[in-house]
Amino acid sequence: MFRTPLRTRPRAQIGGARSVLPALSVLAAALLAACSSTNASPVAATSSAAANAVTASGSASAAPSGSSTAAASAAVSASAAGSSSAAVSASAAAARGSLTASQTTELAALLKTAQGPAPWAAPGPPVDVKSLTGKKIFALIDLQSVPFQTTLANAIKAAAGAASIQVTVGDGGFVATHDIQLLQNAVHDKYDAIILGEAVPATVAPALREAKAAGIPVVSLLYGDPGAVITSENTALNVVADSTYCYTCSGAVAADEAIYATGGKVNAVVITDVGTELSTDIQKGFLGEIAKYCPTTCKTKVDEVQTSNVAQAVTSAAQVAAQDSSVNVIFPGVDFMVAYITPVLKAANADKRIMVLSTNADLAPMQTMAAGGSVKADVGNPIGWDAWGAVDQAYRAMAKMAPAADEKPPIRIFTPDNIATIDLTKDADGWYGPVDYKSEYKKLWGLS
Amino acid sequence: MTDTLHVERNAATDRPPRVNMNALGQRYGLVMAWLLMIVIFGVIEPSKFLTLNNFQTLFDSQAILLMLALAFVISLVSGDFDLAVTGNFSVCLVLIGRLNVVHHVGYGWAILAALGVGLVVGLIHSFLIVQLGLSSFIVTLGSGTALMGVGFAVQAQAVQGVSRSYTHAISMGVGGLQMTFVIALVLTVLLWYVYGYTPLGRQMYFVGASRDVARLAGLPVARLRSISLVSTGLVGSLTAVVAAGYLDGSDPNVAATFLLPVTASALLGATAIWPGRANPWGAFVATYFLVTGYTGLEEMGLSGWVQQVFYGGALVIAVAVAKLASARRGANATAEFGVS
């Protein structure tokens, strides 16, 4: 129904099953460390730092875990990005592991593009927002106490404010009856457009039917892949447009990284939050790439978890994966689950063997990556861009224009190769490159 | 419900009945707080809050929450906790969606299937809690989680398109309000009648007050608790039947966030109308008191953590006040009749 993975992200409490096993594993690891001076198989052999193994940026893996983000970045110089390219070029012509030379080249090129800064592409023709003066937008963004949701709400307010369009952002707390009530009030208060943040239209159908009767267009924000929400059922509920990014592509890029890093010998545990469109899309993307590049040499096991007990379920899945010495990848579809995984891997001394990849590029997993932890890739998207895109769609709908087929918000994969090129202490919008999407949207709207 | 003992005592002493302001305050304090809240929000945001549409929407949209709170009240009355009320609701809701929308089974049969599931859930709870003597809190906490999981197994994705005639019937207007609210209101009245004016209802309160005393008094405690738990299951499934029509579909995630509002409403309702005991009109007032607060805060722009604090705080206060009210009634009875 709702973007449960995202809304549960701030529950940073690492609960879950506190079995005896992790404690014993820690004790065993400590004893082994005391007896041995070398650790397990180096990350370089199993991560995209396989490319780094050829270059000096192997130091990315060796960054001291206690260091600050800035120090970690400094430890890996700007040559990391260059060396990644060099490493990619150097190995492009040769097959990697089970991959053929052409597969290797193809994946290297895909990853190089995916690691690069995000480009701007206008979603559609310009919109004359000055003609919309006096109109108002209602946006339903639940759980605004959560940073992710706060970012969405603030971005919507900023986008509307840029055009001096009145906007009200409501919060139903993800309680269906509250959401319906807020939307019905918006209809009664004669708003001109509704932005539905991460909600499944069917679950607020009573309110959307009223919106349709009142001729109020509904724009979906972050439902699933672009266009996925535009079905006949949702069109009947007046959902006319969406603003979202390609979740399938996110999963696919993460899989590309895993396949490239392991040379086509991925043995992955895929953890998916069931019941949400975006999780289904991410999983589909990941498994699709595995089937494409290494159907016989890669293995995957899908663990479906429910948001209501994600702490326990994800911790349990990580424990099982950690005990299986053949597993080299864990892919939780959305990175709020990483918080439950990395401690388990560390306790089981599997953090060097298993690379953790995910999507969403939340701050905590990115910091783990920058510090040299077991997170080796995170595919992110600037959510502020998605929110401005939703407002753009609302403007188009209010101006009786055709909706944009795709607002084209980008994705970018962050790995130890390029994490040093971004400043994690700054706003996440700046992680995606120099493109100022806000200025671009303002130009599109005739405001500059 | 009248304070029979108090009136009889006054009759015995030939003094005219006195109005006990303290008791009135306890019984209607929440109602007065609700009205006060309406006044306050009406003064702060008159154009948004004090509109007919706002109140119609408020009453209609929370009918499902009210029905679930009433289901929880039924178990509370006889002294048990049925925390599986939302899990039961979830699995019944998705079952209707699966049968009627996906497999095109007639909605009549889908409704019967859902009610059947509610009945079975109630019977299982009755067996585990009454026959085996397990803690209702723990059993239903576990079964509620399990039922949520079963819901996902039945139908993981939201579906839409319940039989058109059924959704029209559920959504039709009655005196400016929707049928969903009317159904919830009828359920409230029915439970009020049963608990206030029938031997069955009175006996359930006895059992809830003290099982040992009820047993010594010759009441069939086990049977009464079983009836209570089965009724909770049935009302939970009935709520799912209504919700399927109201939402025109089903979604296994809908119920995930209902448990707190439902328990808050039922427990806060124990401070009103019949203070110290869970009761249907109290749950009615509490449900709409909480939603009015939530709505008012929202219309003032105070969303997010403020709303969560309001809900959680109301629940804590509810439990504290209900405990105090209960203790006070016991102390009053001791002072008046010299019994402990």
pLDDT in tens, B258-279: 888 899 899 999 988 988 889 9
Probe site for chain B from A8, A185, A208, A274 (most B CB atoms < 10 A):
A185
pLDDT of residue A291: 97
What residues does CATH 3.40.50.2300 cover in chain A?
4-33+40-119+248-380, 129-245+382-410
Residue A216's pLDDT band (cuts 50, 70, 90): very high
Probe site for chain B from A141, A168, A175 (most B CB atoms < 10 A):
A175
Q: Which of A319-328, A375-384, B316-325 has the highest mean pLDDT?
A: A375-384
**Residue of higher predicted confidence among B309 and A82:** B309
Query: Angle of helix B259-269 relative to helix B280-299, nearest 10 degrees?
Result: 120
Mean pLDDT confidence for A204-223 = 95
| A35 vs A32: CA distance, rounded Å | 5
Chain B nearest C-alpha distance from A136 (Å): 15
Helices and strands (DSSP H and E) totals, chain B: 16, 4
- Closest partner residue to B158 among A145, A170, A202, by Cβ? A202
Q: From 3.40.1110.10, 3.40.50.2300, 3.90.320.10, 3.30.428.10, which CATH number describes the A4-33+40-119+248-380 domain?
A: 3.40.50.2300
pTM, 2 dp? 0.76
Using a CB-CB cut-off of 8 Å, the residues of chain B touching A169 are: 303
Tell whether B305 lies on the interface with A, counting CB pairs under 8 A: yes
Residue B257 buriedness (CB in 10 A; 0-12 / 13-18 / 19+): buried
Asked if the Cβ–Cβ distance from B256 to A185 is below 8 Å, we say no
Residue B20's pLDDT band (cuts 50, 70, 90): confident
Q: Is the pLDDT of residue A181 over 90?
A: yes
pLDDT of residue A173: 86
**Residue of higher predicted confidence among A213 and B1:** A213
Using a CB-CB cut-off of 8 Å, the residues of chain A touching B148 are: 306, 308
In chain B, the residue whose alpha carbon lies closest to the alpha carbon of A278 is: B157
Dihedral sign for Cα atoms in the order A364, A369, A370, A373? positive
In chain B, the residue whose alpha carbon lies closest to the alpha carbon of A185 is: B54
Q: Is the pLDDT of residue B253 over 70?
A: yes
Chain A nearest C-alpha distance from B16 (Å): 48
Which numeric CATH code is attached to A129-245+382-410?
3.40.50.2300
Listed by start position, the domains of chain B span: 26-61+258-324, 66-256
User: pLDDT tens digits, residue range B278-313?
Assistant: 999 999 999 999 989 888 888 887 766 777 788 788
Asked if the Cβ–Cβ distance from A171 to B61 is below 8 Å, we say no
Asked if the Cβ–Cβ distance from A181 to B57 is below 8 Å, we say yes
pLDDT over 90, % of chain A? 61
